[in-house]
């Protein structure tokens, strides 16, 4: 049995895996067992912000592993405290709760919101169309995409989906019973969609009027990926709660809920918790990651290489207007909206030894390591050009053969 057959035999069939037998990672490259090097432009789905094998992350993990791997949240743990210090200083938020994953952070944020709104009778929670917040029931209840919800209802009561960037839908549905609006300022899985300035301004005004919570899901866009620490920093609105994960743990499972002062005393001892959340090894890796991102230039690089990559992709759009509809995104969170199903294109890129992810079938999503160089960005763009040429020749061949028939 080869690795593909073994996977198919042993696992529930939840993942459409890429058939590469991975041996190791090096910087922004993934290397298979036969020694082929692939430029990885989706970095473990926006997790590996510093690429693979970053020496600072490895050193932090090794040091902590020698001390203790787990002691439980009954104990004060230096790696947790150091990470919280840095996270709070970098974010300006007041309190933190550490989790194992994105969806767990989202679930916790919904619980935090529920408790906060209890005394004032606020119960309604809104998500937006096109969003993705995770696979557990609370997250799914506010995820606005049928593909993920199909077959899993009923969802949490008092949860509703509003239309993304639809001013009227927002105005008509927000009122004094509104508890929270959960949103990705830049939707990742949904195809790199940016919330509009007009929508954000209205959301801010409505919050002022009705006193509800804005929960920003920065699980994909946070921790420097967009060239700023959080995606919402581009929009001039401070949410009440932020959830982060993915890049936070430097590749180890780690997420966080951050809240503003008004939420300081909502959780009380025993009212929320986790066995593994805030694992000390993950926290040590996370602190090293934050230091590299904030102090050693990775976030700045995300901004400059991101601008460069976007410019090059826009140039490509100018050269292939019949194939590319739009280039969207900020920093190193970019989407190329194709005018055709892009799954074959991603396979063609893989032939050119470049890995990109496709979302919503027609969007090529670029979420590479934040340390990507301009030269590596060029390699990605040229592979895309080769793929587009191949797509055009295939389309021409198809057209000619149908003329002959
Ligand atoms: N929210 C967003 C914006 C995400 O992109 C994801 C994962 O892709 C999640 C939530 C869920 O995170 P996790 O898979 O760690 O539960």
pLDDT in tens, 31-78: 999 999 999 999 999 999 999 999 999 999 999 999 999 999 999 999
The tokens for 353 are 């030894």
User: What's the CA-to-centroid distance between 103 and ligand 1, angstroms?
Assistant: 6
Nearest atom of ligand 1 to the alpha carbon of 136: 16
Nearest atom of ligand 1 to the alpha carbon of 246: 15
Residues 4-27 pLDDT 10s: 999 999 999 999 999 999 999 999
Strands 159-162 and 124-128: parallel
Q: What is the pLDDT of residue 401?
A: 81
Classify residue 127: in a domain, yes or no.
Answer: yes
Q: Is 184 in the pocket of ligand 1 (CB under 6 A)?
A: yes
Among protein residues, the one whose CA lies closest to atom 10 of ligand 1: 133
Q: 154: cis peptide before it, omega within 30°? A: yes
Q: Is 133 in the pocket of ligand 1 (CB under 6 A)?
A: yes
User: What's the CA-to-centroid distance between 123 and ligand 1, angstroms?
Assistant: 24
User: What's the CA-to-centroid distance between 345 and ligand 1, angstroms?
Assistant: 25
What residues have CB less than 8 Å from 351, skipping those under 6 apart?
A: none
Classify residue 20: in a domain, yes or no.
Answer: no
Classify residue 14: in a domain, yes or no.
Answer: no
Domain that holds residue 158: 55-295
Q: Is 134 in the pocket of ligand 1 (CB under 6 A)?
A: yes
Among protein residues, the one whose CA lies closest to atom 15 of ligand 1: 102
Residues 65-117 pLDDT 10s: 999 999 999 999 999 999 999 999 999 999 999 999 999 999 999 999 999 99
Residues 248-294 pLDDT 10s: 999 999 999 999 999 999 999 999 999 999 999 999 999 999 999 99
pLDDT at 405 over 80: no
Number of domains within the chain: 1
Among protein residues, the one whose CA lies closest to atom 5 of ligand 1: 220
More confident call, 95 vs 399:
95
Classify residue 375: in a domain, yes or no.
Answer: no
Classify residue 15: in a domain, yes or no.
Answer: no
pLDDT at 402 over 80: no
pLDDT at 404 over 70: no
User: What's the CA-to-centroid distance between 7 and ligand 1, angstroms?
Assistant: 23
Hey, which of 134, 230, 257 would you mutate to test ligand 1's pocket, going by the most ligand atoms within 8 Å of its Cβ?
134
User: What's the CA-to-centroid distance between 2 and ligand 1, angstroms?
Assistant: 30
CB 328 within 8 A of CB 194: yes
Q: Is 218 in the pocket of ligand 1 (CB under 6 A)?
A: no
Taking the chain, what is the end-to-end CA distance rounded to the nearest angstrom? 43
How many other CB atoms are found less than 10 A from the CB of residue 1?
A: 9
Average pLDDT value for residue range 319-328: 98
Q: What is the pLDDT of residue 382?
A: 98
Res. 400 pLDDT band, cuts 50 70 90: confident
Distances in Å between the alpha carbon of 218 and those of 202, 215, 233, 334, 404? 20, 9, 11, 15, 53
Cα separation, 233 vs 243, whole angstroms = 14
C-alpha triplet 391, 396, 399: angle, nearest 5°: 125
pLDDT at 403 over 80: no
Classify residue 1: in a domain, yes or no.
Answer: no
Classify residue 130: in a domain, yes or no.
Answer: yes
CATH number at residue 269: 3.40.640.10
Residues 110-146 pLDDT 10s: 999 999 999 999 999 999 999 999 999 999 999 999 9
CB 330 within 8 A of CB 306: yes
Classify residue 396: in a domain, yes or no.
Answer: no
């Amino acid at each position: 049995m080869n690795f593909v057959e073994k996977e198919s035999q042993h696992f529930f069939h939840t993942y459409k895996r890429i058939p590469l037998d991975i041996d190791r990672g090096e910087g922004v490259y993934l290397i298979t067992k036969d020694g082929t090097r692939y430029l990885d432009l989706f970095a473990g789905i926006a997790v590996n912000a510093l690429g693979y094998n970053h020496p600072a992350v490895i050193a932090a993990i090794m040091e902590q592993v020698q001390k203790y791997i787990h002691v439980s949240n009954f104990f004060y743990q230096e790696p947790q405290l150091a990470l919280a210090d840095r996270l709070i200083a970098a974010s300006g938020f007041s309190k933190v709760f550490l989790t194992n994953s994105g969806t767990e952070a989202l679930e916790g944020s919904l619980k935090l919101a529920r408790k906060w709104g209890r005394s004032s009778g606020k119960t309604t929670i809104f998500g937006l169309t096109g969003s993705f917040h995770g696979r557990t029931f609370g997250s799914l209840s506010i995820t606005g995409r049928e593909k993920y919800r199909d077959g899993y209802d009923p969802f949490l009561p008092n949860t509703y989906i509003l239309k993304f960037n639809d001013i009227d839908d927002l105005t008509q549905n927000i009122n004094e019973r509104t508890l929270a609006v959960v949103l990705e300022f830049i939707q990742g899985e949904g195809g790199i969609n940016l919330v509009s300035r007009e929508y954000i301004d209205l959301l801010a005004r409505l919050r002022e009027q009705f006193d509800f919570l804005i929960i920003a899901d920065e699980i994909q866009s946070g921790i420097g990926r967009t060239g700023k620490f959080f995606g919402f920093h581009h929009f001039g609105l401070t949410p009440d709660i932020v959830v982060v994960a993915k890049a936070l743990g430097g590749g180890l499972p780690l997420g966080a809920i951050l809240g503003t002062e008004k939420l300081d005393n909502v959780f009380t001892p025993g009212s929320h918790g986790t066995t593994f959340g805030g694992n000390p090894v993950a926290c040590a890796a996370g602190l090293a990651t934050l230091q590299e991102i904030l102090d050693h230039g990775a976030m700045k690089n995300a901004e400059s290489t991101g601008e460069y990559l976007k410019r090059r992709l826009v140039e490509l759009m100018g050269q292939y207007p019949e194939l590319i509809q739009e280039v969207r995104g900020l920093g190193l969170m970019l989407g190329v909206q194709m005018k055709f199903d892009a799954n074959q294109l991603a396979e063609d890129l893989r032939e050119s030894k470049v890995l990109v992810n496709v979302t919503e079938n027609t969007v090529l999503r670029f979420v590479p390591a934040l340390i990507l160089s301009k030269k590596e960005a060029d390699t990605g763009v040229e592979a895309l050009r080769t793929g587009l040429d191949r797509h055009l020749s295939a389309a021409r061949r198809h057209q000619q053969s149908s003329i002959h028939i």
